[in-house]
Structure 1
Amino acid sequence: MGDGERAAARRPRRTTTLRVVEDFAAPPERVFALITSREGFLNAMPPGVEVLAWPEPFGRGGVLDLRWGAAGVYPVRWLAEIDAFEDGRVFSDLQVRGPFRFWRHTHTVEPHEGGTRHTDTVEFSTGFGPAGDLAAATALRGVFGPRLRRMHSDLERARPGSA
């Protein structure tokens, strides 16, 4: 199946889309390298996420195998396949197994005003209708703030010439 075909085959009739846009004072290649690195990924995740398998090299067809202790209580296994990949610009991970009825997360990096604009587009369905999706979207928005602050910090620390 081509890019997006597998996602289309799994996508339920109704999904919710959450889009988060953030600008970074770092070149696109550094931002892309951060979001596709195991270390950058782990640092951007909430506490309790464990990487069981990471694709090497990172690219289309690779599998992310994660375990997340939701609220430190119930371990959730999350398996996602990288179903689209354009080096240095964009990749999408599609949930193969996990807590959502459907989940596809697209990360897009593009030059913007001397730095980088990073866009997260999450298309998902909880399987619990609009109310379930609204609750999930609210929780997800709460996770993105700390994640983006950690990404800024990681990129700042890695800036050439910084102490």
Structure 2
Amino acid sequence: EGDIDLTVDGADEVDGKLNLIKGYGGALVRERIVAAASRRQVILVTADKLVETLGTHGRLPVEVLPFALPLCRRRLGDLELKPTLRAHEDGPFVTDSFNVVLDCAVGPIEDPAALEQAIRAIPGVIDTGLFLGTADTVVVADGNSVRELVRRRSS
């Protein structure tokens, strides 16, 4: 019980403000809970994960209740996100929390906070892959060098 002093994790995209897209592995809710319980979060990535604008790699995972899948698909489509059900050979990918993931086709996301708010307003959406303001430090491996990016805290 209680807070976690330090979490070390990865990310699928990192922008210049250290905002993240996570969830390509499908554990969105659990990653969100761990991030929220952590006093400090360090993210380890390779240089190809750094992007000028979130959404550059073209995919945003959204975890949804299976019962709400038709509604969520339609509403995400209304947001022009082109959702596709993540699947394996034997059927839909199921998360650790027994939900499904819609991978949404995105381009660069101009306002990640507004998009997250719009997605979360859809009944049946459990979580999104947008992790805004959770990372304290990002450690970037680039060939033989490593650099550290630290979030600037407002005074």
Return the TM-score normalized by structure 2.
0.28
Q: Say which structure, 1 or 2, has more relative contact order (CA 8 Å, 6+ apart).
A: 2
Return the TM-score normalized by structure 1.
0.27
